[in-house]
Amino acid sequence: MTDFRMKKTDDVIIKSFVDLVIENGFDNVTVKDIALKSMISRKTFYLHYEDKFALTDAILQDILTWLDETLKKKRLLINQGIGLSNAVGQLEPELRQLLMCWSRPINAIMTIP
């Protein structure tokens, strides 16, 4: 089971990284910047991630895992004979999560060359 403090620190690191990438561009973001914005030490950052590239990979993996799970749920609904419009209606919570949770990280990742 994941330690709540570790999860909370991860969330803060990811949010800070996404904000910094959107504001300054990926190439201009350093681990020091991420740590300062997250109000953690660089050592704490390195306990979670090897570098900003590993952090980017972790965010991408989270997005891809979420997308894969959502598409599996859509496929299951359609295989049960549920029409596409009804399936989309039943996927409303996932679509809301896309808009609320994933839009900024996706926007940040899309700016990385």
pLDDT tens readout for residues 11-54: 999 999 999 999 999 999 999 999 999 999 999 999 999 999 99
Q: Rounded to 5 degrees, what are φ and ψ at 40?
A: -130, 170
Whether residue 2 is predicted with pLDDT greater than 70 in this model: the reply is no
pLDDT tens readout for residues 65-104: 988 888 888 888 888 888 877 877 788 887 787 778 888 9
Which of the four pLDDT bands, split at 50, 70 and 90, describes residue 10? very high
Residues found in the chain: 113
State residue 94's pLDDT score. Answer: 79
Q: At what angle do helices 103-110 and 4-24 cross, to 10 degrees?
A: 50
Round to whole Å and give the CA distance between 71 and 75: 6
Separation of CA 55 from chain center: 10
Provide the 3-class DSSP secondary structure of residue 96.
Answer: helix
Two structure tokens written together for 46 = 């390195």
Two structure tokens written together for 62 = 């989270």
Q: Rounded to 5 degrees, what are φ and ψ at 2?
A: -75, 135
Query: Sign of torsion, CA 76 81 83 86?
Result: negative
Round to whole Å and give the CA distance between 64 and 44: 26
